[in-house]
Chains A and B, each alone.
Chain A
Amino acid sequence: GAGVSQTPSNKVTEKGKYVELRCDPISGHTALYWYRQSLGQGPEFLIYFQGTGAADDSGLPNDRFFAVRPEGSVSTLKIQRTERGDSAVYLCASSLGGGARTGELFFGEGSRLTVL
């Protein structure tokens, strides 16, 4: 596709439920990132994939959060036992590879998660 695609764009769920958020990166981009943005704040790093493997998951807040990228393209962020504090916009970004000197991350439009 032309850009990073994220689904759903909006998700409303109840506390304690399980949620999956999907990201389809730009074709050919090997690096994929998940960030989380709360209202009035900048994005916060969650996890980085290079190919199929999670190269850095140090930003995942706890073990309720998990992400996969089984074929090195589409990624799914999974949140178990959702809490109201998980409410935020979850941003996916992709780039051509490592090399933070360019660091040009192409962000999707985000998935807005609301936990009631």
Chain B
Amino acid sequence: QKEVEQNSGPLSVPEGAIASLNCTYSDRGSQSFFWYRQYSGKSPELIMFIYSNGDKEDGRFTAQLNKASQYVSLLIRDSQPSDSATYLCAANAGGTSYGKLTFGQGTILTVHP
């Protein structure tokens, strides 16, 4: 069973702080990794993807990938209350070139004013 593991949290940070979300995966064939955000009662929406080792920055978000350690992370700088949501880490299934993703169970993030 190929898995993606996340700490379910909840993770609570004060407004303006850095939130750090972590994820590990077991499928060494996975090449692409994704962070989706899901507000309560809503559908997931993609916020970041990464497929090369290292860091990728987009605004307040930075994704980090270490394929040797099979580790993916998401940093959210200057956290805002509107960032409060469940963050889902996902990896594409090894050997596929389409959106067959394995999701973690999600980390609940709460940013308090």
Contact with A along B79-109 (1 / 0, CB 8 A): 0000000001010110011111111111000
Q: Which of A40, A44, A104 contacts B46 (CB 8 A)?
A: A104
Tell me which residues across on chain B come within 8 A of A101, comparing CB atoms.
31-32, 49, 51
Given A42-B4, A43-B44; A95-B103 close (CB under 8 Å) = no
Say whether B45 contacts A100, CB under 8 Å: no
Q: A7 to chain B: closest CB distance in Å? A: 14
Give the residues from 15 to 64 in chain B that come closer than 8 angstroms, CB to CB, to chain A: 31-32, 34, 42-46, 49, 51
A36 CA to B58 CA, complexed, in Å? 29
Q: Does A62 contact B (CB under 8 A)?
A: no
Q: Which of A33, A40, A50, A91 contacts B43 (CB 8 A)?
A: A91
Total chain A interface residues with beta-carbon distance under 8 A: 28
Total chain B interface residues with beta-carbon distance under 8 A: 27
Say whether B96 contacts A105, CB under 8 Å: no
Chain A residues in contact with chain B, CB under 8 A? 31, 33, 40-45, 48, 50, 55-56, 59, 91, 93, 95, 98-105, 107-110
Other A-B pairs, 14, CB within 8 Å; known A100-B96, A100-B98 = A31-B98, A40-B106, A41-B106, A42-B90, A43-B88, A45-B100, A45-B101, A56-B96, A100-B97, A102-B49, A103-B32, A103-B34, A103-B92, A107-B44
